Every structure is written in structure tokens, then in C-alpha cells.
Structure 1
Amino acid sequence: MTAQAQTALIILRRKQVEARTGLARSTIYQHVRAGTFPAPISLGAKSVGWLSTEVDAWIEARIGDSRKA
């Protein structure tokens, strides 16, 4: 079994993403449009979510970028 198959997929809703990243809703969507933040996945007609693994990778990349400077 692969490592990814062993990891449970968790979908974060927008408020959870805001809490996890410290970003406001408008900033998250600005980054999504710019291609610098993971795109949300559709959960229904009017709901979206983000994969926690993608959000975590984005956070880790920001940490790595800030440590290089």
C-alpha cells in the first residue's frame, strides 16, 4: 500500500483553511486566482473545500521560503 493510500483524505472547509493559514477569505481566493494557493474542490452546488494535504504543503512551502531569506 502506498503512503498516500494510507493517509486519510481530509477536506477542509473555508473557515478551517482561514484558521489554519491565518489568511482572510478574500486573500485565499486572490492566491487561488494567481495560482499560488491550492484550488478548492467542489463539494456541491454552493460548497467547496480544500484537501488538507495540499493546504499543509502550501504552509510548509511558505515556512521553507521564509527560512531561506
Structure 2
Amino acid sequence: MEIKMPKLDVSMTEGTFMGWLVPDGSTVAAGEPIYSVGTDKVETEIPAPADGVLRYGDAAADTDYPVGTTLGLLDL
């Protein structure tokens, strides 16, 4: 399952990937915060959408990405 830059509000077109909150290769549970995203208004922790093993992608911390950009993978 792809982990993507979320759309946090209707006008959001990109966000800042702030970084991962758990190590690469970690087993995570659905609802557990796994990365954070910043906008000009707020920084938000994003939860895992399902149970699985987190695999980092090529996303660099403190970098802006368009909504929908794949940041990593979740092996189910």
C-alpha cells in the first residue's frame, strides 16, 4: 500500500514532509502515527492506514511535495 502526501484541507495542493516518526522496517498498527506533514497553518501527525511494515521511500524530510505524492510503502 502506498503512503502518500495527504490532502488535509480542500485548498491544499502540497505539504511539507516533516519526516518519519518510526524507523524504516518497523511493524506498525493501524492508527499509529508514522510521519508528520506541515502546512503554512499546522503540523500534523499522520496515522498508518492499516497494520503492516513501514518501508521508507525517497521522500526527504523538510521537503515540499504535491498532494498524492508517494512517500513510502506499507507492506500488509
Same fold? TM cut 0.5: no
What TM-score, normalized to structure 2? 0.24
Higher relative helix content: 1
